[in-house]
Each structure stands twice: as structure tokens, then as C-alpha cells.
Chain A
Amino acid sequence: MDPLILSAVLIAGLLLLLASGIWVALSLLAVGLIAMVFFTSAPSGLVMATTVWGASASWTLTALPLFIWMGEILFRTRLSEDMFQGLAPWMARLPGRLMHVNIVGCGIFAAVSGSSAATCATIGRMSLPELRRRGYDDRMSIGSLAGSGTLGLLIPPSIIMIVYGVAADVSIGRLFIAGVLPGILLITLFMGYVAVWSLLNPSRTPPGGPDMAFGEKLRASKRLIPVVALIAAVIGSIYAGIATATEAAALGVAGALILSAASGTLTRTSFRDSLMGAMVTSSMIAFILAGAAFLTVAMGFTGIPRALAQFINDLGLSPMALLAALTVFFVLLGCFLDGISMVVLTTSVVMPMVQAAGIDTLWFGIYIVLVVEMAQITPPVGFNLFVLQGLTGRDILYVAKAAVPFFLILVLAVVLITVFPGIVTWLPTQMSNR
């Protein structure tokens, strides 16, 4: 069957299943199954069991539940409140005030975690209840969290960069370094947007506290010490060669438990609640990931992504037009597939095109990361959306709408790195010239 018609059928099927209220993980499995049964000759049930098992019994995945657990533990200490109290005096003058904690928090946590969903879940668990309690606009808190959670992919370490580096034969170390400046650029853009929005909507930010003297501010900041120490210790463990990026999550949990015990909030009940909460969230996400893994394999069997990429190739576009076409292609694909699947399914066809067009593969890696970041927040399949729905109980479409401005900022970032490629390439060049 024509790949265009086939993909339209499957997309319609997925949307119908989702809209009718079938759970997300099961909708993904069902569409994968439909694709396998009707459009391939492989034994669907066996393939389903095999791929889901392979995707679930995965060492790389372990960082996700552990970081979620870390967030649950910290949420039950006074730590998140302390963090906000310590930061509040310093942010009093910045339009949008504590809303920026979401962005800066994700930016810093991104240096520990390689995944977008883990960043979103850990920071969101701590900041969302605090922001809500203080009367910040819910929609903006959720949107900014969805957007800045994706920094987990851009700021090293990053799982998606490792996947791209291996698939496209690009140095992972250089990719990591190349992500730093675009990461800072994105943080700045996100914060700028929040500030401008707050100036335009003064009624939707709660009133600020009284202005404090400098000494008072410093005294208030003492409450930041435990959080800063924990994050510094986890980042430090990676760079001191004690743990790899995946293992750091376990240290994060241990550190959170120690802090919780030291502050006297660690009780049998709080331990159990944090553990059960983390287990439920991670079981939910792991099941969706399993569904996505099966859908990916089904797509591999049908050959749709490859055929669509080939279609773009056959258009014979100029480099700029090619990038524009690829962006549309990846954004559409990103609505339905997760980022890693997008990369592994398309590199075989896309990389030769990119190289033939004379596009730098290192630069293209950062471009891909930005596009995958968009995929994290586009419905119906966007993992940050799922995390935030689990966290807030808001419907996925509400979350997706809240994230739209941040999606547009990601598009702007793609335009900026295209016009000024130096944002990506300058730092790696400096490093290798040394």
C-alpha cells in the first residue's frame, strides 16, 4: 500500500483510539498491532512480546524511575519549600519571579539527567505544588515545565546524543560540548518569554513579598544549601569518575534519603508513600515506552518512516529547503513516535541526504536534538505531556496547549542555529584547537 495512505490510516486509528478514552500505552500497542496484522507478514504477537521485553529490561531505562523516586522523596521533605523560600528574595525584581525556578531548575537538573521525562518529572514534583500554593498561573507553570524539561536532552549528558552519535558516526564528546551554548540560549529564550508574558499579564502573577536588605537575602539563601549540595554532589560524582550518567540517579536517591533523614522528615510513611508514588508513575511511563517500542518496530516493518524520508530525498531540494522539509517531516513524525525511535528509524536515509547537501553532521546532531525536544511536547505522543498529566491530572490536550509557546520557542531556536551555526560549532572548535 502507498505509505502515505497507510500512515494516514494508522494516524486516524491512533487518534480514534486515544479520543475514545483507551489508555495511552494500550492505544500505542493497538495501533502497532493493527499495522503488523494488516500490513506485514511477521507474527505480531511474538514480535510484540519480544520487543516489549527488550525495551523494558533495559539498564539505560533505570535512571528514569530512580529520578522520579528522588523527586518523590524531596517533595516530602521541606526541601522544595526551602528552595523556593531561598530563591524568592533574589527573584523579587525579575518579572515572573518564581516561575523561573522551573526553567533554571530544569536547566541545572539537565546536567545530571540525560532524559527529558526524568527532568520534567523530578523538577515538576518539587516545583508544581509550590507554585500552585503560591498562586502562580497553573497553565504557565505547566507549560514552562513541559518546555524546559526538554533541556534534559540538550544539556549534557544526553541519551539522544549518544544514540545519534553512534548512528551517524559523530563524536559523542563533541556533541555534548556542542549542546552547551544552545542549551544556554534556550534557557534565556524561555526565561525571556516568561518575563515578557508576566509583564503583559500582571494580574496572573501573585504579589511579591516585601523587598529585603542584602543581608536578609543572604540569610534566606542559607535554606538553599541542602538542595545545592545535593545537586552538586550528583553532578560531581559524574565528573569525578565515581558514577556514569546513568548510575548518578541511584546516588541522587541515596542523597535525597540522607537529606530527608537529616531534616527529620523521613518516616516509615513518607518512605512508603514516596516509593509507591514513584513505582506507579514509572510503571505508567514504562508501559507507554513499551507501547512506543512496539509501534516503532511495527513502523520499521511497514517501512513508512523510510519511505517518507526517501520521498523527501527524491524531491532534490537545496540545503535550506531540505532542512525546512526535514523539520516538517520530523515534527510530524514526532507527534507519533518518541525521539530515539525517530533517530534510529531515519538515519539510514536521512544522513546520506544531509551529507550530500554539505550539512555539518555535528551541527545536524544538535538540530535533531532540538527537533526531538519538540516531539516531547507535541500531542498525542509526547512524553513530557504524559509526565505532566500524571503529575497534575490535567488532560493531555490542556498540557499540550500550555506548552505551545515553548514549542514555538524551540522552532525559533532551530531558526537561530541555522542562521548562526556558530552557536553550535564554536565551542567544539575551541576545544579541539586547544
Chain B
Amino acid sequence: QTKWDLPTAYPDGNFHTQTLRWFADEVRKATDGQLDITLHSNASLFKMPEIKRAVQTGQVPAGEILLSAYGNEDPIFEADAIPFLAAGYPAARELYEAQKPLLEKRLGDQGIRLLYSVAWPGQGIYTKREIAKIADFRGIKFRAYNAATARLAELLGAAPTTVQQAEVPQAFATGVVDAMITSGATGVDVKAWEFSKFYYDTSAMHPRNIVMVGERAWRRLPDDVRTRVLEIAAKAEERGWRESERIAEDTKKTMGQNGLTIVQPSDALMTDVRAVGSTMIEEWVTKAGPDGRKIADALK
């Protein structure tokens, strides 16, 4: 019998964590308890930035990360966080298909095996003031949490601002930031209606989490257990994407009911924002080289 510890940074209520819990339970059942996975949610074991390294060096057998957080390491990892490279679920799936072999190769080189990957609901823009045209972004403080969102804010004409995730509600309330871009699921997690007024449903990108296992831990599993795990990982992935789409609708409803104005951005605004997106895609392709070009072409 093998025991695995599996750390994730997300809280229990999050749909990624729930998918992961489903995965762990199914694996236990399917292998008659031969593989027993203990899920450590809430960053209670390792914090987000340490999880990948911990898996890579065998400190834990498996773990979950937000893939695009590793964009500095390799631009291919942040393809799913480039605005308008793949907007909406169908495009996000195509992106995953195109990215997957490249991803598996790169992770494999680091001693990591990809088990499954699930997209977050599309990211939209939360603001305190109404944005009718792109010029309305001028000068507002826009929360940036990585290089891509900082560049996005800059291109929109806003002032990119760093605020730690935990301080977001207070920062909005006191005016340290005026706008942010994140998914509807996170918006519900942080109760965005308590501090912002509008949600612009741009579905600009669907960043993904990946669940991974260290190659060493993987090789130690008996053959039949490995087969089971892969089968269930595939099912968990399907389940995760379904949940993601369902959550995307639910969260919009929840936010609306709580008084957040859900806005479908006007065509004029979308055209301008997409133009910003094209610039960012070009910049990313230049950075990511031939593999980046391959992904971008696959999505055209």
C-alpha cells in the first residue's frame, strides 16, 4: 500500500479542490486502497510557490499548481494566461490540446508527470466605476499579479498596481486599487460585490491548474495502479472542465444576485480591448519562440 501527500494552495470550497478530492476518493476506491492520497488544502502543507519544487525534488509525491505562475521559467507555461490568445471554453480546450505535448516535454525534463489540467472560468474585469470605452481605463489603479497582467494594464492605459491577494478586499474598499482582472470563481471566493460594482465579462483567458506527480514516485507504483490512476485522472479532468463551465454560469448568477452589475462589454470596447490582446499575443509569441508560434497558429 502506498500513501501520497498531495498539497494544494486552494481552500476546500474551491471547485479545483473539490475535483481533486473526487480524484483522491476515486483512486482509493479503484485501487482497493493500494494508493491512498491525502489531500492537504489551504496551503497547509506547502505554500503555492513551493509546491512545484517540492514535487520535483521528491518532498511530496504529487501536487497542484497554477501553471501560469511559472511563466518566468518558460513562456509556454503562461500561454493560458495571455489575454485573448484563447477566449472562451472551446478555444481554451484547443489551447490545452496544442500546449499539452510541449508541456509534457518540459515538465518531463524536470522530472514531473502531468496527470490532468483544468481551466478556471474565463477572466473578466472588476471595476468600481463604469467603463464604457477604453479611454475610461486611463489613470485607474489596476491590480497586476504577474508580468502579463501588468502589461495588460499598461496597454489599457491604466496604472498597474501590486496588491497581495489577501489584501484585495480592503485595497478596493479604501481605493488602493480600482480594478482587477480575475475569474468569476475567484470573484465569488473574495465576495467581489462587497467592494466593486461592475463585472465586465470579457472571458479574456482561462488560466489552468495542473495536477502533477513526481517521476520517481510515479515509477514506484505497480503497473495496474498506474493504469487506474491515469484512467481516473482523465475522468477527473473531464469532470473538472464540466464543473468549471457550470461554476462560470453559477458565479455570474451569484454575483448578480449580490448586486454586482454583470456587463457584456460593448462592441466598441471589445474591439479596443482585443486590439490590446493582439499586441500582447504578438509580444508573447516573440518571447516564446517557434513553440509559441506553433500554439498561436493552432489557435488561429
Whether the complex brings A and B within 8 Å at their CB atoms is answered: yes
Is A241 located at the chain interface by the 8 A CB criterion?
yes
Given contacts A42-B5, A169-B13, A172-B169, contact A301 B45 (CB under 8 A): yes
A-B interface, 4 closest residue pairs, ranked by CB to CB distance from nearest: A241-B175, A241-B174, A344-B44, A169-B13
Is B43 located at the chain interface by the 8 A CB criterion?
yes
Is A421 located at the chain interface by the 8 A CB criterion?
no
Is A243 located at the chain interface by the 8 A CB criterion?
yes
Give the chain A neighbours of B195 by CB distance below 8 A: 173
Interface residue range, chain A: 35 or more
B174 touches A344 (CB 8 A): no
B57 touches A348 (CB 8 A): no
Give the chain B neighbours of A176 by CB distance below 8 A: 170
A238 touches B174 (CB 8 A): yes
Given contacts A42-B59, A300-B44, contact A241 B164 (CB under 8 A): no
Cβ distance B213 to chain A, nearest Cβ, rounded Å? 15
B164 touches A246 (CB 8 A): yes
Is B49 located at the chain interface by the 8 A CB criterion?
yes
Main secondary structure of the interface of B (DSSP, over half): loop
Is A244 located at the chain interface by the 8 A CB criterion?
yes
B170 touches A244 (CB 8 A): yes
Cβ distance A362 to chain B, nearest Cβ, rounded Å? 12
Is A297 located at the chain interface by the 8 A CB criterion?
yes
B42 touches A244 (CB 8 A): no
Main secondary structure of the interface of A (DSSP, over half): helix
Give the chain A neighbours of B166 by CB distance below 8 A: 60, 162-163, 166
* Of A44-52, A70-78, A185-193, A202-210, the one with at least 4 CB within 8 A of chain B: A44-52
Q: Would you give 20 A-B contacts (Cβ < 8 Å), ordered by A?
A: A42-B5, A43-B57, A50-B59, A51-B50, A55-B47, A60-B164, A157-B170, A166-B42, A171-B169, A172-B170, A241-B174, A244-B176, A245-B167, A296-B44, A297-B46, A300-B44, A345-B44, A348-B41, A348-B42, A348-B44
Interface residue range, chain B: 35 or more
Q: Which of A229-288 contact B (CB under 8 A)?
A: 238-246
Closest to B45 in A: A300
Docked complex Cα distance between A351 and B49 (Å): 26
Q: Which residues of B contact A (CB under 8 A)?
A: 5, 11-13, 38-47, 49-50, 53-54, 57-60, 163-164, 166-167, 169-171, 173-176, 189-191, 194-195
**Contacts A50-B53, A239-B174 supplied; 7 other A-B pairs, CB < 8 Å:** A171-B191, A172-B170, A172-B190, A242-B176, A246-B164, A297-B46, A348-B44
Q: Which residues of A contact B (CB under 8 A)?
A: 42-43, 46-47, 50-51, 53-55, 59-60, 157, 162-163, 166-169, 171-174, 176, 238-246, 296-297, 300-301, 303, 344-345, 347-348, 351
Docked complex Cα distance between A89 and B195 (Å): 43
Cβ distance B104 to chain A, nearest Cβ, rounded Å? 25
Closest to B163 in A: A244
A50 touches B45 (CB 8 A): no
Instruction: Choose among B11, B170, B174, B194 the residue that contacts A169 (Cβ–Cβ < 8 A).
Output: B11
Closest to B194 in A: A173
Docked complex Cα distance between A171 and B191 (Å): 7
Give the chain B neighbours of A345 by CB distance below 8 A: 44
Docked complex Cα distance between A43 and B38 (Å): 17
Docked complex Cα distance between A358 and B191 (Å): 22
Cβ distance A286 to chain B, nearest Cβ, rounded Å? 16
